[in-house]
Structure 1
């Protein structure tokens, strides 16, 4: 993994790909679903999930990513901690918490996991999986980029200590 050199252009491309994937249908709008039975009419994009259903997590991610971006532009030393916090929040919430809460709310037993996976796929469409995977890849690359920039600045500080 140390041989991979990540350039800012790679980060920009991954961010734009992640941002574009957020326009894919990702989640069910529960209000529309109660009014109509057509699933094609009730799917919303990832922004709806972030800023209507999960507003606190959406705002926290927006603030952390913005802070990490501005700190990396200024070449600050603690950027990798902010990116790591954003990565942990993103992974814990969208990969662990949302499926786990849905399983607990529906009292899923181990022998019912296939039915739960189909129910999860019905509620969160393919856009959710694509957006979560691209966001995870972007944040992993951003973390690697911030670690590489930290290592570039480390030798000068080591020279000062000697």
Structure 2
């Protein structure tokens, strides 16, 4: 069996549902910017976004733009997906150095799954999905042009 590079799901297989709490994240992604919810009172970062801060219960929220850097915290390798038996996916949880304490569930793309490692440095990219939205995915840092 030949090695398969990890990809994101085809665009037509991904649909998001945004609400007033998550819409700023998705609108920024649509502009190819990665942001995170940060409490406007205590500064605590949180992903996924929530209506109130879990630290101080404030509803004040800021959306600072992040550098797009990330580090693999955890990952899995998925060979096959319903209706896509040849798909190779690497879903991952990544730490965002610019948003201490925030972790994002995402996909690592453009890499052989056996090369992914805990602690690997990544950089954000954006994958088109349904309804004109863009999904933040990550590539190995230094491989952005791949």
TM-score (norm: length of structure 2): 0.24
Which has a greater percent of strand? Answer: 2
Which has a greater percent of helix? Answer: 1
TM-score (norm: length of structure 1): 0.23
